[in-house]
Structure 1
Amino acid sequence: MGANRGGAGDGLTATGVSGINTAVWNPTISVMTPTDALASTYSSTITHSVA
């Protein structure tokens, strides 16, 4: 049995799963901006990897 769910901001992969299995990931991201930053729309990419 396999499962795969993915999208912007979340992901889950499981293969050959049997029995009771759980995983929890509750990330917190904080961004500090300078007090003189201009009001606008900004974007970035966050990459998280676990080996």
Structure 2
Amino acid sequence: MPQMGPLNWLMLMIYFSMVFVMFNTLIYTTFNYSIKTPKISKIFKVNWKW
């Protein structure tokens, strides 16, 4: 039935959109990254060269 064509395309688009959103939320929630901060030494050595 040609009248049902747009409805099938609409359902297909909704289906792929939902899969896309679910995939992205899974990737976003499972992605753990560690921020690499440089270690700053607390001991300050002062070498005076006069």
TM-score for both structures, normalised by structure 2: 0.26
Whose strand fraction is larger, Structure 1's or Structure 2's? 1
More RCO (CA 8 Å, sep 6+): 1
Whose helix fraction is larger, Structure 1's or Structure 2's? 2
TM-score for both structures, normalised by structure 1: 0.26
